[in-house]
Amino acid sequence: MGPEQIFMPFIGMLVLTFCVWLLMYRRRINYIVANRIRPSQLKTPEQLQSLLPDEVSYPSYNLKNLFELPVVFYALVVYLYVTGQADMIYTVAAWLFFLLRCGHSFVHCTSNHVMTRFRFYAASSIVLWLMLGRAVLQLVI
């Protein structure tokens, strides 16, 4: 397994973000068309949010979340590759992070069961912080 393999879950995260983005617009546009909402009613994000039910907005909330901790993941993966540290342990951890984030996004965009969503979030966060911790230790030792 070469160090470039760490980019597979990296690309997976990008594809996940794209899929959530598509789902967000599909739900929004379908709701707007079905309820005959005029564009003039959607001038600000606040106006849009006030007109959409939570179920339609779940992908939007998830998309915002995909630009929080995953940004740390992207930066860390690039750092690991550039410094030649992207080994099998990091690659497995990156896959685990990606899969847990997929679970988080699935729950967030569907049932939005808060405790299930939180478990996926917490587990993926722990994986990410362990990856970062290992990278920091390798840097200072």
Residue 91 belongs to a domain with what CATH number? Answer: 1.20.120.550
Mean pLDDT of the chain: 97
> Alpha-carbon distance 99 to 111, whole Å?
18
Task: Work out the average pLDDT over 27-52.
Answer: 95
Q: What is the pLDDT of residues 55-102, one digit of tens each?
A: 999 999 999 999 999 999 999 999 999 999 999 999 999 999 999 999
The residue range of the domain holding 15 is: 3-140
Contact status, residue 141 vs residue 85, Cβ threshold 8 Å: no
> Alpha-carbon distance 59 to 115, whole Å?
17
Residue 52 to residues 33, 47, 123, 133, 139: CA-CA distances in angstroms? 12, 9, 30, 41, 48
Sign of the Cα pseudo-torsion (56, 58, 64, 70, in order): negative
- Provide the CB-side half-sphere exposure for 9 (13 A, CA): 25
Contact status, residue 124 vs residue 39, Cβ threshold 8 Å: no
As a whole-number percent, the residues of the chain with pLDDT over 70 amount to 100
> Alpha-carbon distance 101 to 121, whole Å?
7
DSSP code of residue 32? H
> Alpha-carbon distance 86 to 77, whole Å?
8
DSSP code of residue 41? G
Confidence of residue 1 (pLDDT cuts 50, 70, 90): confident
Q: For the chain, how many structural domains are there in total?
A: 1
Structure tokens at 87: 């080994």
Give residue 131's pLDDT: 98
Q: pTM of whole model > 0.85?
A: yes
